[in-house]
Structure 1
Amino acid sequence: MSPSSFQFSRRQLLVAAGLGTAAGILRVGPAWATAGPQSYSPSWSSVDQHPPAPEWLQDAKFGIYYHWGVFSVPAFASEWYPRNMYNNGSGENNHHKSVYGDPSVWPYHNFINGARDKAGNWVQFAP
């Protein structure tokens, strides 16, 4: 076989990944179906016959996405602050002008290097 016969196109790779994912999901499917009785009646004894959580959920992990960056210094809006502070009339732009001054005079890199805001407070990102 030639080396070119082992090359995948992007489409073939996506199809293979999708089939692999589907196979993994379908493999878990029967565990849901055989986990207990298939119907409930309005009583606690009926509820107690069913497992408290499906098998896939019992092994699930819990995660929290937490992001901290220079955009956190102004503590206004979102991580889009650096972009939107330069858009005239945006909420970020109006906030920036009122607290720090015009972005052309008080640019975003002042949050990194450190500078004083209009009230005289020192403002700088501290990771």
Structure 2
Amino acid sequence: MMSSSPRFNRRTLLAGTGGVAAAGLLGIRPAFATEGPQSYTPTWASVDQHPPAPQWFQDAKFGIYWHWGVFSVPAYANEWYPRNMHNNGSNENNHHKSVYGDPS
């Protein structure tokens, strides 16, 4: 008969403790909504008692994620290049024929 309790093995134990250790080293702490009043009423005065944003959000840094995909290899048009290069008469098709030859 199988037990319904979760099975722990070395891999899950190491992954869990490694994640906790990494979070501790990076200074990552759980964000709890304990700042400000515990309840409010639907009035502007009550809403103004709450902080405008949680502390983790106020401490956040601005970042941009950019993905360099295979569509950037021809450096022409956009990410639809591989699709549109097969449409006869399209700008992508004409460009592909002139630079690389017929895409067929």
TM-score (norm: length of structure 1):
0.46
What is the aligned counterpart of 1:100 among 96, 100, 104? 96
| Contact 2:84–2:93, Cα closer than 8 Å, also in 1 | no
CA distance in 1, matches of 2:14, 2:99: 46
CA distance in 2, matches of 1:66, 1:55: 26
SS of residue matched to 2:15:
helix
- Looking at both structures, which has the greater relative contact order when contacts are Cα pairs under 8 Å and sequence separation is at least 6? 1
How far has the Cα of 1:17 moved from its partner? 2.9
Alignment RMSD: 3.7
How far has the Cα of 1:48 moved from its partner? 1.3
- Equivalent residue for 1:16? 17
CA distance in 2, matches of 1:64, 1:72: 23
1:40 aligns with 2:40: yes
Letter of the aligned partner of 2:57 in structure 1? L
CA distance in 1, matches of 2:77, 2:11: 41
State the 4+ residue runs in structure 1 displaced beyond 4 angstroms: 9-13, 21-25, 67-70
How far has the Cα of 1:57 moved from its partner? 1.2
- Equivalent residue for 1:4? none
CA distance in 2, matches of 1:10, 1:106: 51
When the two structures are aligned, how many residues end up with a matched partner? 87
What is the aligned counterpart of 1:75 among 67, 74, 77? 77
- Equivalent residue for 1:117? none
Q: Which has the higher helix share?
A: 1
Structure 1, unmatched stretches of 5+, are 1-8, 85-89, 108-127
CA distance in 2, matches of 1:21, 1:62: 22
How far has the Cα of 1:67 moved from its partner? 5.5
| Contact 1:37–1:50, Cα closer than 8 Å, also in 2 | yes
Change (3 A) 1:14 1:41: same
Change (3 A) 1:50 1:22: same
How far has the Cα of 1:14 moved from its partner? 2.5
| Contact 1:76–1:92, Cα closer than 8 Å, also in 2 | no
